[in-house]
Every structure is written in C-alpha cells, then in structure tokens.
Structure 1
C-alpha cells in the first residue's frame, strides 16, 4: 500500500498537472493518496502490535483499513483518471470502513489494557 501510494503520489504531483487536470481533480487525487498513506502506516503499526499480542479486533481493523483504502482512494483514483462519475457513492463507503477500522483499533486497545 505504501509503494502504490508513493507511485500514485508522484504521478499526482507530476503527471496530472502535465495532463491538464483541473486543480480540483488534482486536489481530490492527492486526498486519495493522503488517506492511503495514513492507513498504510496504521497497518504497519498494527502488524507490529500483533507481533506482541494477537487480537481479533486488530485483524478486523486491518481488513476495514484495506477495504476502506480500495473503496475510498480507489474510487477517487477512478474518478480522476478515468472520469468514472457513476461510482461516487463508493467513496463514502470507504470512509465508513475507515471509521469502523479506527473503532476496531479503539476496541483492541481497550481489550489490550484490560488483559
């Protein structure tokens, strides 16, 4: 996820402007990249945490973060790169997955502290 975020971020910074994309499309694309990076880092820290203590809620959070990235960032990438406007309803579903993932992390932390 970090690798593709880096590649897409570089394209967003250099290729999109050269292709004549509008400032609002470039901004949306960069938002997708930004959220992809946030959740790539969250996944990295969860993998490290799971090496110390395996909790089901951390696995659930990892699934939600991965699905959220595909839905949220992926739908933005599709909109900007291919003009796929009919899938705009998917972006908020990705946001809900991110929220569910963070809630799962919160529950994991509560479980961890109680044990």
Structure 2
C-alpha cells in the first residue's frame, strides 16, 4: 500500500465531510468567526490532501528519495496539527490551541520545501 496515496484520499474525504458538517450543522451552532476558523481548517486539509496525493505518486515512482517520504509525513503532521487545532478551537472555543496551530503551518512549509528540493533532484 502507498501510505501517502491512502492518507491523501482519507484527508480529501474527511475535508469534504467536515466541510459539509460545518456548512449544515455547525452554521446553526457557531458564531460566524468560529465557523470561518472551521472552514480555514477544511481548506487547508483539502489543499494538503492533494499534496499528499502528489507525494504518493512521486514516491511510487521514486521510492529511493527520502525527501519525498519526509515531505509526506510532514504534510500529514501539518494537517493533524494545523487543521485539527482549528477544528477543536472553533468547536470548543479553547483558545490555547491557537498557539499550536503555527506548528502545523511550519510542518506545511518544511514539507513544501522538501518537495521542491526532491523535485529538483528528480530531473
């Protein structure tokens, strides 16, 4: 099994489901600011689900490239930390999680950087 294709598909599915949940259930329960935070988590999850799919495809063709592996795991960690903290923050109002969110953003940035370096080395 290609773990990054699986995780990309899983997170794509989850982002659609969580987006629908936000639009149809949470819109009646959350204030507009909290709902906007939720939707930011959904958007970033979907963008990075697509990145995981790309990493999965590349890693399948170039399994010897460790940068792709690191990039994939950092994309996944970024989704869990960044989007996950935004979901919890918006649903619970627990503001302390706002301090965790940038860690997920840094994971995303490093993952994109590693993907750039890996791509440059591929061809």
User: TM-score, normalised to structure 1's length?
Assistant: 0.93
Equivalent residue number for residue 89 of structure 1: 99
Pairing of 1:1-115 with structure 2 (within 5 A): 1-19=11-29, 21-54=30-63, 55-113=65-123
Give the gaps of 5 or more residues in structure 2: 1-10
Superposition RMSD in Å: 0.9
Q: Secondary structure at 2:25's aligned position in 1? A: helix
What is the Cα deviation at residue 9 of structure 1? 0.5
In the comparison of the two structures, how many residue pairs are matched?
112
User: TM-score, normalised to structure 2's length?
Assistant: 0.87
Give the gaps of 5 or more residues in structure 1: none
